[in-house]
Structure 1
Amino acid sequence: MSVSLPANSSTELRRGTLGVGFIIFFVISAASPLSVIAGGFPIGIMLGNGAGTPALLIATLLVLLAFSVGYTTMARYVTNAGGFYAFCSRGLGGTAGGAAGVLAMFAYNILQVGLYGMFGGVVAGTMSAVFGIDQPWWVYSLLAMVSIAVLGYRKIDLSAKLLSFVVIAEYLAILVLDLAIIHSGGDSGVNFDSFEPRNIGSGTPSIGLLFCFAAFIGFEATTIYGEEAKDPKRTIPIATYASVLLIGVFYTLSVWAIVVGVGSDKIVPTLQALQDPTTLLYGLSDHYVGPQLTQVIRVLFMVSIYAGLLAFHNAAARYFFAIARDGLLPRQLGTTHRVHQSPHMGSALQSLIAAVVVMIFAAMGADPILQLFAWFSSLATLCVILLMAMTSAAVLMYFRRQPELRLGWLRRCLLPGFAMLALLGVLSVAVLHFDVLTGASRGLSYTLCAVIPAALLGGALLARRLRRKHPQRFDALGSHKL
């Protein structure tokens, strides 16, 4: 029995819309560079290995570049808005693909909802301190949600144009501060103490490594825009490598400049002495440039979180769309708007989920940053690391079954295998130290972790149900491509 689709819907995304530049802007926005530099790394430096954090960033960059080799190679043969879901379906089979799809859908939704907590908390604090306007954090979260819903419903290039201005402004502001610190010589002269073994191994490097991996979350989203890209077989690999290199080099330079600015032997004590470690960047900006740049960074901090909200909203909506189009979710979610060719139903559902969760946390009187954001973003980080490991395994199996492609051993086997083992190692460390990432009790932290196997099981059951009812559709999971 066929199911009729709404009159204003289709099942195709808007083709040939996004070039390399716009996809890079989406990905970098998802990584929220300014919010990571200002909000994430000060805590990571304090809890991790202190001045040695830049060296861990380079190690993280190398692992993610190794992952990207297999990832982009397979993207030449699997062009699908489902990203991880499509790759796992074609490489590991439909059941594993269904599991990966639901996990990815869950991960990007909770990450986006968590960001609403950070956005509301940061904006409420800024409005109170600067303008004397006192409103609950959730008011600002809901206002952002309305505008995100409108942008997600409309054409993708509208969101891309908005994000491009935001990303450029973020990078310029932080680079001005980086150059000012380096030009002045910092606290005790420009040095490379961050890369000395004594600093790399100081403190707790494993926790520092987790913060480094969490900072890159979002770079992997290039493939979900494959169906909307211009010449996706060329655009997606270029965008992926460019994104991970831009993010990695920018983070390494900026964190190193922060260490130089404060002093390698003073960075941890300075952070520990601050009531709020995330204000470190403001102090550095005041000292090395002036209050004018600090005010710009304060505003861009809020805008950076908003850009991340928009980028992850688009990612979550496309996972709803791709999975539903293949039959794992109701077909209405797998439709696109006939005019805008956006996954409008997935976008609307994502906004509804975000509104419900935000209001629940508001009714509970929960802290928007220390609870809503910390819990959800940390859990999403675990999900994405596991998804990358599964995708590396999918790359290995996919090319093993297709020897006629005659790809080099490095691209089809060695680097994907190395990435899979490295990511599984990082995942193990992340689970062991998950209470540090969330700031919650050990019991609550492991309860949150238990949601991951539940999501995997739910996805596998959906795939098995499709296999019983529509075996041909099950065999074709993740194969919808250009």
Structure 2
Amino acid sequence: MSHEQTLPPTGTVAGGGSSKGLSKRTLGVPALVFMIIAASAPLTVVAGGIPSNFAVTGNVGIPLSFIVLGVCLALFAVGYAAMSAHIRNAGAFYAYIAQGIGRATGVGAAWVALISYNAMQIGIYGLFGFASASFVNAKFGLNVPWWVTALVGFVIVGWLGINKVDLSAKIIGVLVGLEFVAVIVFDVIAFTVSPEGVSGAGLAPSNLFTAGVGAALAFSMAAFMGFESAAIYSEEAKDPARSIARATYIAVGIISLFYAFSGWAMTIGTGPGQIIAESQKFGPDLLFVFLSGHGAVIVSDIAQVLFITSLLAALIAFHNAVARYVFSLGRESVLPRGFARVNARHAPVAGSLTQSVLALVMLAVFAIAGIGSPLGELYPVLTFFTWLTNTAAFGLVLLLVLISVAVIGYFRKHTAGYSLWTRVVAPALAALTLGTVFVLIVVNFNVLIGSDGFSPLSWILPALVVVPGIAGLFWGLRLKKHRPEIYRGIGFGGAPDTSA
């Protein structure tokens, strides 16, 4: 007999998960925090994202941008965390929007989330393949193509995706811990070197809020992607009523402060007067060149290995997120119910395998398309990685805005025990500030994908997110008309909402 099972609709607690399916009470707050931070990929952001931001925007105030965005996301977390005590559903964004705005809108949001998380996860394979192949080729004198090492990562991620989630959490915890050590070592050396002295230029508002502030904030926002993912594991958390909120607040605080401090350290180590030019010259290699140039070659080599494992940790985290969205949609019959299949390890095996197949197809497409490309070795970074991850950032920030509105809608009906600040003020401010960031991403999208001037990609890529979202909205309305029994369960784990 097969160990797999397809979930029947079962009772839920405030829209929570079913009594069967995903592992129950598996992840504590530390594990959730590590899963969130892994998706954010600390070493990837510090070594790759921050120098790229300096290089493209010419803005010395990049470190301060993480504090500004951290405040915006802390406002978002107020209502988001409060809702997490009531809604326990692996399709977090989808369920929150369905219960706060409407079921049809929730289905549209589910398509946006699926596209966005898949784009983020799959796009990272481009940078992972490039970084790992470059390291192997440089150290062993080989000529391994980027897609070969990307496939090695693909196999590891796929295997972990069909195993119990705490195995992924343990591996991710180790990798993230090592990433932090590597960045802290860099920070210490940077402040020791400080060729122009310790300066507050990187944290000065006058340096951030210049003509390039829009692109700077749009770039920096990508560093936070995945911070919201604790709620995706609400059905597997040990104490979902408290742990989701705690993990989200802790992660936002750690991410914003750590990136701000490390970005500031980078300006100190290179010199505020040189940071833009050096970033434009070396790009993502700046951190490793810096370490090698100051006698820490072995540390540089270790940091490069951890840069690769940082990307692997992010791949695992986003793979798990996609698998749980697919599981949730299958359980509620928004997707065919076969997608709700789990295995003996309580892993969402159908969702995991679906994501793996899609990733493999996209890897093959970009590998074939890159044959003979004039971009040479940088092809997977400048196309595969850049295009897909910025498309994902576009979609995920749109979802953050919708959730902020959904919080207000949800607490209009569930006011008990919550202040006006939690129910209305904080989510309204979050919708306003994150809406501004979303507009900045739209306006600067051509900059984010490395295009000079207008490019068809600047509207084609966002359309890949928006069009499925609109289609999902109409699909939800169709379910309302023709399959009301399914429609009533949307966002409630497949169990019809008795208050509907």
Q: If the length of structure 2 is used for normalisation, what is the TM-score?
A: 0.92
What amino acid sits opposite 1:167 in the alignment?
A: V
Report the counterpart of residue 126 of structure 2 in structure 1: 117
**SS where residue 264 of structure 1 aligns?**
coil
Cα displacement (A) at 1:455: 1.4
Q: Which runs of 5+ in 1 are unaligned?
A: none
Of residues 435, 443, 447 in structure 1, which corresponds to 2:456? 443
Cα distance change, pair 123–421 in 1 and its aligned pair in 2 (3 A): same
Cα distance change, pair 314–248 in 1 and its aligned pair in 2 (3 A): same
Report the counterpart of residue 325 of structure 2 in structure 1: 319
What amino acid sits opposite 1:457 in the alignment?
A: I
Report the counterpart of residue 470 of structure 1 in structure 2: 483
Q: Give the Cα separation in 2 of the matches to 1:218 and 1:107.
A: 11
Q: Give the Cα separation in 2 of the matches to 1:358 and 1:458.
A: 26
Q: Which moved more, 1:425-434 or 1:449-458?
A: 449-458
Does residue 204 (structure 1) correspond to residue 207 (structure 2)? The answer is no
Once the two structures are superposed, the pairs formed by residues 270-419 of structure 1 within 5 Å of their partners are: 270-272=278-280, 274=281, 276-288=282-294, 290-337=296-343, 339-365=344-370, 367-403=379-415, 405-419=416-430
**SS where residue 356 of structure 1 aligns?**
helix
Cα distance change, pair 108–148 in 1 and its aligned pair in 2 (3 A): same
CA contact 1:94–1:463 (8 Å) conserved in 2: yes
Cα displacement (A) at 1:293: 0.8
Q: Which runs of 5+ in 2 are unaligned?
A: 8-20, 374-378, 496-500
Cα deviation digits, residues 342-397 of structure 1 (max 9, x gap):
10000000000000011011111162110011000000000000000000000011
Of residues 131, 137, 152 in structure 1, which corresponds to 2:161? 152
Q: What count of residue pairs does the alignment treat as equivalent? A: 473
What amino acid sits opposite 2:486 in the alignment?
A: R
Q: Give the Cα separation in 1 of the matches to 2:414 and 2:313.
A: 40
Does residue 31 (structure 1) correspond to residue 40 (structure 2)? The answer is yes
Of residues 229, 237, 251 in structure 2, which corresponds to 1:243? 251
Cα deviation digits, residues 66-109 of structure 1 (max 9, x gap):
00011000111111111110100000111100000111011111
Cα deviation digits, residues 197-247 of structure 1 (max 9, x gap):
432234511111111111100111010000000011111001000111111
How many percent identity over aligned positions?
A: 35
Does residue 479 (structure 1) correspond to residue 492 (structure 2)? The answer is yes
**SS where residue 51 of structure 1 aligns?**
coil
**SS where residue 160 of structure 2 aligns?**
helix
Of residues 116, 124, 138 in structure 2, which corresponds to 1:107? 116
Specify which structure has the higher proportion of helix: 1
Q: Give the Cα separation in 1 of the matches to 2:35 and 2:480.
A: 35
Once the two structures are superposed, the pairs formed by residues 128-207 of structure 1 within 5 Å of their partners are: 128-182=137-191, 184=192, 186-202=194-210, 204-207=212-215
Does residue 432 (structure 1) correspond to residue 443 (structure 2)? The answer is yes
Cα displacement (A) at 1:25: 0.9
**SS where residue 439 of structure 2 aligns?**
helix
Of residues 457, 460, 471 in structure 1, which corresponds to 2:470? 457
- Kindly report the root-mean-square deviation, in angstroms, between the aligned alpha carbons of the 2 structures: 1.7
Cα displacement (A) at 1:289: 5.7
Report the counterpart of residue 498 of structure 2 in structure 1: none
CA contact 1:48–1:206 (8 Å) conserved in 2: no
Report the counterpart of residue 60 of structure 1 in structure 2: 69
Of residues 2, 9, 12 in structure 1, which corresponds to 2:5? 9
What amino acid sits opposite 2:236 in the alignment?
A: E
